[in-house]
Structure 1
Amino acid sequence: MHGRWSRVVRTPLGLTATVLVVAVLALACFGPVLWGSGADVVDTNDILAPPSGEHWAGTDNLGRDILLRVLVAARLSILLALIAIVIAVGAGLLLGSAPFVLGRRGGRLVTAAVNTAVAFPGLLLALFFAVIFGTGATGAVLAIGLAGAPSFARLTQTLVAGVAARDYVAAARIAGVGRVRVLFRHVLPNIAEPLVVNATIGAGNALLSFAGLSFIGLGVQAPAYDWGRLLYDGISAIYVNASAALAPGAAVLLAGLAFNLFGESVAKGLGVPVGIGLRAAATRTAAAKRPEPTSHDEHVGTSAPDVVLDVRDLEVTFPGPSGPVRLVRGVSFDVRRGEAVGIVGESGSGKSMTALAITRLIADHGRVDASRLDLLGNDLLAPDTAVRRRLLGTSLAMVFQDPMTSFNPTRRIGAQLAEVATHHQGMTRREAMARAVDRLTAVRIPDADSRVRQYPHEFSGGMRQRAMIGMGLMGEPALIVADEPTTALDVTVQQQVLDLLAAIRDADDVALVLISHDVTVVGEVCDRVLVMYAGRVVEDLPAAALATAARHPYTRALVEAVPDMATDLTKPLATIPGRPVSPADAPPGCAYAARCPLADARCRAEDPPLAAEPERHGSGRHRVACWHAGEPLPRVHETDDLVETVESL
């Protein structure tokens, strides 16, 4: 952090702006002390004198030195501007955080009010509030502060919405932490920098606005004076002594410029965007409703004693512009102790949504339905209780694909791991920190004693991912859900992470659900593979049969699209023609029909059920949703024929 702030003063502009701000603040502090008595001396023999060696900016209509009065007025001008900006930031924080705290219904009203206020020019709002609060310094401070609040409220809404979407906030919410506590502990610390930068720039604008109100007689009243009041007094004598108006005007200009330049320099040095963001969408808490039980496959019937996770008829629905959109449609499977189940499919197939539904991390406006969703025999769709939160916090571990968004960047790694133990297991801080060191050591992070005191950005990508796994191991998880845990990692680190997950699974008989785009990785790591397309499972087969006994055309296309050492480099790489189906535009019948070379009229009209296939070669249970399961695919040998086939599809 010190290095980032030091970058602010390394540029000529940053250094100049810093010097100017320090000079302005020093003048505000020491100006009245040094020149206060001289500024009030009245000399009726030297009224409205022009600039001279004795009075550099001349004198006013009572013979008082104008330059001294400008120097002394710095304190009141800057103090009132800073108070106004504090009011603006404070009110903006309250209004901008309201949608997050109040939820969707109450947040809509606040958002609508903020949007209406932002539509009016700030100066017009300041004049409106000045009329309400009356003339004088107090009324002007309140007017300028409240007039600046809508801009900071809009900025805060955008920043809060961005942080609220992070995984660590969702994890805190699902753990039962209240919205207000999440706001102060996780959200506000992560938006402090852009707020400080914009407040610095806002101070310069508030200074200019305050001078404007005093100039038109709505601000500071005699005998007190600020730069705006001096400008008001000097404008009447501008034809006699122009410096009477130029001196306070120049002071306002320089001070405002100093604050604005300093804010811009800080923004560039810290990489913080400046300005007002777009409106943050408010969210509403929706209770999940249980549907009536529906028929399901015999392989996912009554839970066996060793079943860790039992999912039947899982559906995830989000509101859309033309009605509800089903992102997950009737997914059913179970995971047993020590078993590794992989979920593969293209982007948008519903893999991550399935994982989020299992871990109860679906956004508030999403809806999760299932005839059964059990973890260790406990109903995850039951009303939220402390017992259920403890179950999710200790028996289930979620490994996200981007650990940088899963860790709070403003808190140390050790504190974030220890929080799991103190919140769910009742450990003291010392015991929880010792547990954190032990878990980091368990996931092969060297020098864990010192690493616990570091921040997430001080870890490499692979170390952050291992620390994320260590957080899941703070309890005693029976199930680990890993959502593409090797994304953006190099091949060596990917293998290390996968080896670590395999070692944890073998050591503690932990069940694993691994989500990945990589069919090869899933085939090597997992015992069973679920292939998803357009929100539903189209094939459930043993991993050993993935390369040789896959029955669904989509599964076979995924396998063939992965090159290996035997791939003929003289021929084009295999691809899947067309594009994945949008959940909002799912067609009738089989969703893969438009891309499938075996599709016929029945495929386009009837959606095939996920039915059991005869066991082949002792490979284990096998389910597939296809009217042409196992039929040979047309083979294309020449490049021109391949292009024509793709275009026809």
Structure 2
Amino acid sequence: MGSIEKRHGVLERVIRQPFTMVALGWVLLLAVLAVFSPYLAPYDPNVTDVLNRLRGPSVTHWLGTDDLGRDTLSRAMWGSRVAVLACLQAVGLAALIGIPIGLLVGYKGGRWDRIVMRLVEVEQSIPLLLIAFALVAILGYGLFNAMLAVSIAFSMSYLRITRAVVLAERPKSYVQAAEIQGYPISRVLFRHILPNIVGPLIVQTSILSGVAILLEAMMSFLGIGTQAGTASWGAMLEDARRFQVQQLFLSLVPGLMITVTVLAFNIIGDGLRDAFGIETHARKSVSKSRAVRPALRIQAMGKEQAEAQRPSVLSVTNLEVEFPQQDGSVSHVVKGVSFDVAPAEIFGLVGESGSGKSMTVSAVLGMVPPPGEVTGGSIVLDGRELVGISAAEWKKIRGRDIGVVFQDPMAALSQVHTVGMQITEGLRYHQKMTKAQAWARAAELLDIVGVPNARARLDDYPHQFSGGMAQRAMIAAALSCNPKLLIADEPTTALDVTVQKQVLELLLKLREQLRMSVLLITHDLGVVAEVCDRVAVMQHGVLVDYGNMKDVFVEPKHSYTKQLLLARDGMLGANPRRSS
């Protein structure tokens, strides 16, 4: 109901705008005239009556006649059909071309983004009318050929605005959650990102519709649009220009139709922009060149060595993550990190912001943001080396073998899809369940994580959940495919103290119930002391302390760990080591 409520909220805001409602009424009237003009027009628009040429308004001809005695009102009504067809062709074809390309290049970035944007800049440097003249010269006269040039220009506008909003959406947690589920790019783009960016695209469509009608009239006026004799507003203006002296009223009707229609679409665009709450200032995007990537050094363990070590669900060995800099140097954000997570163990990775813990997890997920690279080390999940595998192989692992719980559930869950849809999507994609099976499993998962009245809550949207319940729903989605490893990235930071305790107790319960391994990322030593079996402490990309709770909390070896403990002691007025 959240998406429906959101649409209702937009609709209510539009209804409260009287000018927007009047403009919508005019556009609706045009649509009716376009469809029913053969039945509503009092005369055939092409029937001539030279005895009554260039007459003003009268009882028989309400808006007068043109130079051939044709009824001006009928021609104006039939002209609305040409205007609407031109608008549908130009805007519809442009949206079909520009939006998918904009989604793709905004999402992928890198080389393809730079190439496409350079081509867009080249196209937009060429005047639109020059492209129209060229296409008409090659393909011949006609409305479709003339508006094809407009479609090309409009597709570039759709591409640019789609790319811009996708760049803003790309880093958000709900997109990362979809990627971690292993969904193909097409599903991420069209099922997850596109519904969340539809507002700016609707506004753009309204504005471009007005421009399309204006351009159609301009081309028909110049004689490269509709064929001679066709009733269109632009052609009517051209006829009026030649006979302006004999009949001043002749240009008034098509001129008003064009002006009011274009103005109506602009008012609708402004109203929708306000209703959706879209910012109007331009967003600048900076494309950075990617430095040459260093050679990957995989230090995978041999079979005998792996078997000799204690069993582990996840084993990270000498992990290196580097980011090339503009000056040619390299920033080492993760340096020689090694740890392992045992079956049914909760392992804590602790450190302040910028310590490298989140980048370590990104490497484990195969999602180090470009231009960063895993340049050395080994990451083994349940006996399988992950460093160096293909993107297609990663899609089979994320969401199925690795589940992720993010810090802010309201950001990680898509606000335009129901909770049930977001849980069942992974089940249907990875487990190939039917809709009924996935729905039943989703209700079971919500019940497992402690969401009351689970089956009924599947139809709710994230905003209808409290923070704690939303976090439980996200955990349910992460558990949907029975992952071998659950990564919990600051799962309690956005919650109050009472709800934090409930979520931590839930993680402990799930560990016991499902025999699941958990990699807990946090900066809160109290959380670590309460739920973790072992812990690793990171500073400046290096693992400085590693061991069980007693080794790290009671007898810390590194000065940084001691400082963290003293800092927490100072904030709480108590020693956190007592809780371990």
**TM-score (ref. length: structure 2):** 0.86
- Name 1:317's counterpart in structure 2: 322
Root mean square deviation of aligned Cα: 3.5
Q: What is the identity, as a one-letter code, of the residue corresponding to 2:312?
A: V
Describe the shift of the 1:315–1:249 C-alpha distance in structure 2 as closer, same or farther (beyond 3 A).
Answer: same
Whole-angstrom CA distance in 2 between matches of 1:302 and 1:357? 24
Describe the shift of the 1:26–1:426 C-alpha distance in structure 2 as closer, same or farther (beyond 3 A).
Answer: closer
Tell whether the 8 Å contact from 1:344 to 1:515 is kept in structure 2 after alignment: yes
Matches within 5 A, 1:110-509: 110-120=116-126, 122=128, 125-126=131-132, 129-170=135-176, 172-173=178-179, 176-273=182-279, 278=284, 290-291=296-297, 293=299, 304-323=309-328, 324-363=330-369, 365-381=371-387, 383-384=389-390, 392-509=398-515
Could you tell me which of 562, 570, 573 is aligned with 1:566? 573
Q: Deviations over 1:59-103 (max 9, x none)?
A: 221223323322331111222222111122122124324536987
**TM-score (ref. length: structure 1):** 0.78
Q: What is the identity, as a one-letter code, of the residue corresponding to 1:535?
A: G
Whole-angstrom CA distance in 1 between matches of 2:285 and 2:192? 21
Q: What is the identity, as a one-letter code, of the residue corresponding to 2:478?
A: G
SS class of match (1:313)? strand
Whole-angstrom CA distance in 2 between matches of 1:125 and 1:557? 68
Q: What is the identity, as a one-letter code, of the residue corresponding to 1:249?
A: G
Q: What is the identity, as a one-letter code, of the residue corresponding to 1:335?
A: V
Describe the shift of the 1:180–1:276 C-alpha distance in structure 2 as closer, same or farther (beyond 3 A).
Answer: farther
Q: Deviations over 1:424-463 (max 9, x none)?
A: 3344333222221111101111111111223333333322
Give the structure, 1 or 2, with the largest relative contact order (CA under 8 Å, sep 6 or more): 2
Q: Percent identity?
A: 38
Describe the shift of the 1:303–1:117 C-alpha distance in structure 2 as closer, same or farther (beyond 3 A).
Answer: farther
Q: CA deviation at 1:375?
A: 1.8
Q: CA deviation at 1:129?
A: 4.4
Whole-angstrom CA distance in 1 between matches of 2:64 and 2:469? 68
Whole-angstrom CA distance in 2 between matches of 1:214 and 1:388? 54
Q: Deviations over 1:364-395 (max 9, x none)?
A: 65422443211222222253498876555444
Whole-angstrom CA distance in 1 between matches of 2:370 and 2:177? 13
Whole-angstrom CA distance in 1 between matches of 2:392 and 2:67? 74
Tell whether the 8 Å contact from 2:318 to 2:338 is kept in structure 1 after alignment: yes
- Name 1:555's counterpart in structure 2: 561
Describe the shift of the 1:260–1:218 C-alpha distance in structure 2 as closer, same or farther (beyond 3 A).
Answer: same
Describe the shift of the 1:428–1:88 C-alpha distance in structure 2 as closer, same or farther (beyond 3 A).
Answer: closer
Q: Deviations over 1:532-585 (max 9, x none)?
A: 222222333544566664443433333344444539xxxxxxxxxxxxxxxxxx
Q: What is the identity, as a one-letter code, of the residue corresponding to 1:320?
A: Q
Q: What is the identity, as a one-letter code, of the residue corresponding to 1:566?
A: G
Describe the shift of the 1:466–1:174 C-alpha distance in structure 2 as closer, same or farther (beyond 3 A).
Answer: closer
Describe the shift of the 1:317–1:126 C-alpha distance in structure 2 as closer, same or farther (beyond 3 A).
Answer: farther
SS class of match (1:453)? coil
Q: Deviations over 1:287-322 (max 9, x none)?
A: 996515499xxxx99863332221111122234323
SS class of match (1:361)? coil
Could you tell me which of 72, 75, 98 is aligned with 1:92? 98
Question: Which structure shows the higher helix fraction?
Answer: 2
Q: CA deviation at 1:121?
A: 5.5
- Name 1:68's counterpart in structure 2: 74
Tell whether the 8 Å contact from 1:32 to 1:75 is kept in structure 2 after alignment: no
Tell whether the 8 Å contact from 1:74 to 1:226 is kept in structure 2 after alignment: yes
Describe the shift of the 1:387–1:157 C-alpha distance in structure 2 as closer, same or farther (beyond 3 A).
Answer: closer
Whole-angstrom CA distance in 1 between matches of 2:477 and 2:297? 34
Tell whether the 8 Å contact from 1:125 to 1:147 is kept in structure 2 after alignment: no
Tell whether the 8 Å contact from 1:123 to 1:147 is kept in structure 2 after alignment: no
Tell whether the 8 Å contact from 1:58 to 1:241 is kept in structure 2 after alignment: no
Describe the shift of the 1:179–1:6 C-alpha distance in structure 2 as closer, same or farther (beyond 3 A).
Answer: closer
Whole-angstrom CA distance in 1 between matches of 2:127 and 2:104? 23
Specify every segment of 5 or more residues in structure 2 that has no aligned partner in the other structure, as ranges.
Answer: none
Describe the shift of the 1:95–1:511 C-alpha distance in structure 2 as closer, same or farther (beyond 3 A).
Answer: closer
SS class of match (1:70)? helix
Q: Does 2:529 align with 1:523?
A: yes
Whole-angstrom CA distance in 2 between matches of 1:111 and 1:341? 45
SS class of match (1:249)? helix
Specify every segment of 5 or more residues in structure 1 that has no aligned partner in the other structure, as ranges.
Answer: 568-615, 620-649
SS class of match (1:538)? strand
Q: Deviations over 1:385-432 (max 9, x none)?
A: 988765554443211113344334443322332233333334433322
Q: Quick check: 227-236 or 182-191, which moved more? A: 182-191
- Name 1:9's counterpart in structure 2: 15
SS class of match (1:4)? helix
Tell whether the 8 Å contact from 1:288 to 1:368 is kept in structure 2 after alignment: no
Tell whether the 8 Å contact from 1:51 to 1:58 is kept in structure 2 after alignment: yes
Describe the shift of the 1:277–1:33 C-alpha distance in structure 2 as closer, same or farther (beyond 3 A).
Answer: farther
Q: Deviations over 1:86-132 (max 9, x none)?
A: 12212212432453698744454323212322345555654554555
Q: What is the identity, as a one-letter code, of the residue corresponding to 1:367?
A: E
Whole-angstrom CA distance in 2 between matches of 1:243 and 1:275? 42
Q: CA deviation at 1:269?
A: 1.6
Describe the shift of the 1:387–1:372 C-alpha distance in structure 2 as closer, same or farther (beyond 3 A).
Answer: same
Aligned residue pairs, count? 565
SS class of match (2:313)? strand
Q: CA deviation at 1:152?
A: 0.9
Q: What is the identity, as a one-letter code, of the residue corresponding to 2:115?
A: L
Describe the shift of the 1:128–1:386 C-alpha distance in structure 2 as closer, same or farther (beyond 3 A).
Answer: closer
Whole-angstrom CA distance in 2 between matches of 1:45 and 1:385? 76
Tell whether the 8 Å contact from 1:154 to 1:277 is kept in structure 2 after alignment: no
Whole-angstrom CA distance in 1 between matches of 2:320 and 2:162? 34
Q: CA deviation at 1:352?
A: 1.1
Describe the shift of the 1:137–1:190 C-alpha distance in structure 2 as closer, same or farther (beyond 3 A).
Answer: same
Q: Quick check: 371-380 or 405-414, which moved more? A: 405-414
SS class of match (2:451)? coil
Q: CA deviation at 1:514?
A: 1.5
Q: CA deviation at 1:274?
A: 6.1
Q: Quick check: 13-22 or 161-170, which moved more? A: 161-170
- Name 1:647's counterpart in structure 2: none
Whole-angstrom CA distance in 2 between matches of 1:365 and 1:446? 44
Whole-angstrom CA distance in 1 between matches of 2:176 and 2:288? 15
Whole-angstrom CA distance in 1 between matches of 2:375 and 2:180? 17
Whole-angstrom CA distance in 2 between matches of 1:435 and 1:370? 40
Describe the shift of the 1:550–1:102 C-alpha distance in structure 2 as closer, same or farther (beyond 3 A).
Answer: closer
SS class of match (1:210)? helix
